Amino acid sequence: MRKLLLLILLLSIPIAYMLLLPSKSPEERIATARTHAEEEWSQHFGKAVFLRIIKEEKILELWLQERDSRCWKYHKSYSIAAMSGTLGPKTAEGDKQAPEGFYRVYPHSMNPQSKFHLAFNIGYPNLYDRRLGRTGSFIMVHGGWRSVGCFAMTDAGIEEIYTLVNEAFKAGVPNIPVQIYPFRMNAGRMQQEKESEHYTFWQHLLPGWQHTESRQEPYPDRDNS
């Protein structure tokens, strides 16, 4: 019994020690993330960023705009580690739904001291949501492996995404579009969903999907930010 108690005590010391260690400052988190992202992404630091989320596939697409050009290029898809709810828009605080629609991230949206490592607020509810009486707040793209209403990307994933967004803001990019779709909105799939209670709302999103697919750029939605 004494040996067992001694073993438990020895094992608990590192855990207790780690809990007592001060967490990294926001500046340290940003610097560490930048270092981790630098090898793969440094040539893209400062470029404008567009994020497109497809809920059904649980992926976040990263697009970048070439410098001194209007051309955008898809670069990478990240698996979403955790996302709650079902297909369809978020309508109320506490409904555990992840939203769908057209949003924008601004410099003040960045949160480097999140309990989920790094995070940024996508701006839900937007103007369109508010007109419909939708409620909710603090919908984030963040690190970690769990989420209620947000999009958890793992710490490694959010370090790359956060760094590219942050570097874009440092270069003077005013905002980052985040466009969230339920599924790939091709004609066949839309026909399949014609009886859905969300079909009318999804028709509102359809022009955004079609614009990006045909023109390879973010939908220039100016009424929902």
pLDDT of 17 = 32
Annotated active-site residue in 142, 198, 204, 211: 142
What's the mean pLDDT in 177-187? 98
Which tens digit of pLDDT belongs to each residue from 104-144? Answer: 999 999 999 999 999 999 999 999 999 999 999 999 999 99
CATH T-level assignment (fold) for domain 20-215: L,D-transpeptidase catalytic domain-like (2.40.440)
pLDDT of 222 = 75
What's the mean pLDDT in 55-66? 97
Q: Is 159 helix (H, G, I), strand (E, B) or coil?
A: helix
Annotated active-site residue in 71, 108, 150, 198: 150
**Ranges of each domain in the chain:** 20-215
Specify whether the CB–CB gap between 225 and 219 falls below 8 A.
Answer: no
Specify whether the CB–CB gap between 93 and 83 falls below 8 A.
Answer: no
Both structure tokens of 30: 């940003």
Q: Known catalytic residue: 142?
A: yes
Write the DSSP string, 15-79.
Answer: HHHHHHSPPPPHHHHHHHHHHHHHHHHGGGTT--EEEEEETTTTEEEEEEEPTTSS-EEEEEEEE
Which tens digit of pLDDT belongs to each residue from 185-219? Answer: 999 999 999 999 999 999 999 999 999 999 999 99
pLDDT level of residue 31 (50, 70, 90 thresholds): very high
Cis peptide before 125 (omega within 30 of 0): yes
Q: Are strands 101-105 and 176-181 parallel, antiparallel or unpaired?
A: antiparallel
